[in-house]
C-alpha cells in the first residue's frame, strides 16, 4: 500500500484526487491520511465524497471511512470498467475537478466510458468546464487522449445543478506532450455567458475583456450567451472564459466569475489581464494547464517537454505525487523571456 500525506505541500483536495487516480490506473492500494488537515473545516467535503464514489464505482474499489470530515481513507481498486455512469455532486462542487480525476481512469478502462455529471460548471478555485475542454483537453488530445464533452446546463454557486456529458474512449497509446515556446497568439477566442441575469451582464463582460485584449494587440472574438429555459442555471451567475488561438498551438486560457456586487466590467478585465500577463512570458502552457498535464506526462511513454507561464504550488504538488507513485523525475529550466521549461521522462504505463 502506498501511503500519502494529504497535508503536504498544497495540502488540499488535489492530493486526494491525484492519489486515487494513480491508484486506480496502476491498480495499487492507497492510504491518504491528514486529508486537508490545514483547511477549515478539515477532512472530506461533499465534493471529495462525490469524486471518491465516482472513482470507486468505475473500478469497483473498496473505500473505507467515506463520510464528511474524514481525514483518512483506504482505497483498494479493482479493474477499471467502461460503460455509462451518472454522478451527482449534489452541490455546486466543481464538475471540472471531478473530471480531472476520472478522465485518466476512464482512458485506461476496458471500453468507452460515458459520463453524465451534475454539479458546478463554473465555480471558485477551478477553471470552468468549457475552458478545461478548450485548453486542457485540447492539449491532452495531442497526447492521444480520446475525450469529448458538452455542457448541457451551466451550474453556479450555490445551487449548482449544472450538467456535463462526456465520452472518453480507451487509449491506444499515450504519447509524450511537447509544446514549443512561441508565445505568438494570432487571436483570442472565448465566451461570456450569464443565466437568470440580464443579457447586458454577459455583454459588458465580453466588451471589457475585448477592450483589454485589443489594447494589448490581440484580436478578440468573444461570443455572448444567455442561458434560458432548459439551459438556465439553478442559481443566477455569469462567467467569461477566453483562450489563445495560434499556429503552432499554444495552450493558454483564462477565466473569471461574476459575483454579487462585482461590476461585469471588472470580471471581463480580470480574465483578459491574466491571459495577457501569461502570454507575455511567451510560454506554451498556462499555469492551470501545467499542473493538469503532470499526471498524463508521467504516465506517457517518452519525454514530455513544454514551457509554462508560472510554476505554482499545485504543479509542484503534482510533480511530487508523480515521484511517489511511479518514481519519474522532472527537470525545470528557466527561460530568459520568463516562465520555465518543464521536462518529464514518462513511465510508459
The position carrying cell 517518452 is: 302
Q: DSSP states of 79-142 as a string?
A: ----EEEEEE-SSS-BHHHHHHHHHHHHHTSSS-EEEEEEEBSS-TTS--HHHIIIIIIHHHHH
The whole-angstrom separation of Cα 330 and Cα 328 is 7
The whole-angstrom separation of Cα 189 and Cα 301 is 32
Catalytic status, residue 314: yes
The position carrying cell 494529504 is: 6
Sign of the C-alpha dihedral, residues 213, 214, 219, 225? positive
Q: DSSP states of 252-298 as a string?
A: -EEEEE--TT--HHHHHHHHHHHHHHHHTTT-SB-HHHHHHHHHHHH
> Which residues, 6+ apart, have CB-to-CB distance to 139 below 8 Å?
177, 179, 251, 285, 289, 293
The set of cell numbers assigned to 74 is 483506504
The set of cell numbers assigned to 219 is 484580436
Q: Give me the catalytic one of 48, 165, 314, 336.
A: 314
**Residue whose C-alpha is closest to residue 133's, from 103, 108, 93, 160:** 103
The set of cell numbers assigned to 257 is 466569475
**Residue whose C-alpha is closest to residue 289's, from 278, 276, 300, 280:** 278
SS3 of the chain: helix, strand, coil, percent, to 5? 35, 30, 35
Q: Would you please indicate which residues are annotated as catalytic (active-site) residues? A: 314
Amino acid at each position: 500500500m502506498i501511503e500519502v500525506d494529504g497535508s503536504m505541500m498544497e495540502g488540499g483536495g488535489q492530493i486526494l484526487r491525484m492519489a486515487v487516480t494513480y491508484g486506480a490506473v496502476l491498480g495499487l492500494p492507497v492510504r491518504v491520511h491528514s486529508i486537508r488537515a490545514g483547511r477549515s473545516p478539515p477532512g472530506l467535503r461533499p465534493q471529495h465524497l462525490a469524486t471518491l464514489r465516482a472513482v470507486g464505482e468505475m473500478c469497483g474499489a473498496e473505500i473505507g471511512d467515506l463520510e464528511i470530515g474524514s481525514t483518512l481513507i483506504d482505497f483498494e481498486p479493482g479493474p477499471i470498467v467502461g460503460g455509462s455512469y451518472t454522478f451527482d455532486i449534489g452541490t455546486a462542487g466543481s464538475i471540472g475537478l471531478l473530471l480531472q480525476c476520472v478522465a485518466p481512469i476512464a482512458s485506461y478502462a476496458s471500453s468507452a466510458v460515458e459520463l453524465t455529471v451534475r454539479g458546478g460548471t463554473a465555480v471558485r478555485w477551478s477553471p470552468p468546464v468549457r475552458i478545461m475542454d478548450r485548453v486542457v483537453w485540447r492539449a491532452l488530445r495531442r497526447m492521444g487522449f480520446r475525450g469529448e464533452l458538452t455542457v448541457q446546463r451551466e451550474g453556479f454557486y450555490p445551487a449548482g445543478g449544472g450538467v456535463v456529458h462526456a465520452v472518453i474512449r480507451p487509449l491506444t497509446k499515450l504519447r509524450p506532450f511537447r509544446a514549443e515556446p512561441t508565445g505568438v497568439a494570432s487571436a483570442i477566442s472565448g465566451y461570456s455567458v450569464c443565466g437568470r441575469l440580464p443579457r447586458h451582464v454577459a455583454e459588458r463582460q465580453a466588451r471589457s475583456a475585448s477592450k483589454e485584449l485589443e489594447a494589448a494587440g490581440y484580436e478578440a472574438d468573444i461570443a455572448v450567451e444567455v442561458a434560458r429555459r432548459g439551459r438556465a442555471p439553478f442559481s443566477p451567475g455569469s462567467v467569461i472564459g477566453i483562450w489563445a488561438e495560434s499556429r503552432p498551438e499554444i495552450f493558454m486560457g483564462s477565466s473569471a466569475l461574476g459575483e454579487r456586487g462585482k461590476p461585469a466590467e471588472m470580471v471581463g478585465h480580470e480574465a483578459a489581464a491574466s491571459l495577457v500577463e501569461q502570454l507575455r512570458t511567451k510560454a506554451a502552457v498556462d499555469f492551470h494547464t501545467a499542473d493538469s498535464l503532470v499526471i498524463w506526462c508521467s504516465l506517457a511513454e517518452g519525454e514530455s517537454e513544454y514551457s509554462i507561464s508560472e510554476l505554482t504550488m499545485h504543479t509542484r504538488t503534482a510533480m511530487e505525487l508523480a515521484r511517489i507513485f511511479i518514481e519519474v523525475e522532472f527537470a525545470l529550466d528557466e527561460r530568459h523571456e520568463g516562465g520555465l521549461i518543464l521536462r518529464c521522462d514518462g513511465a510508459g504505463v
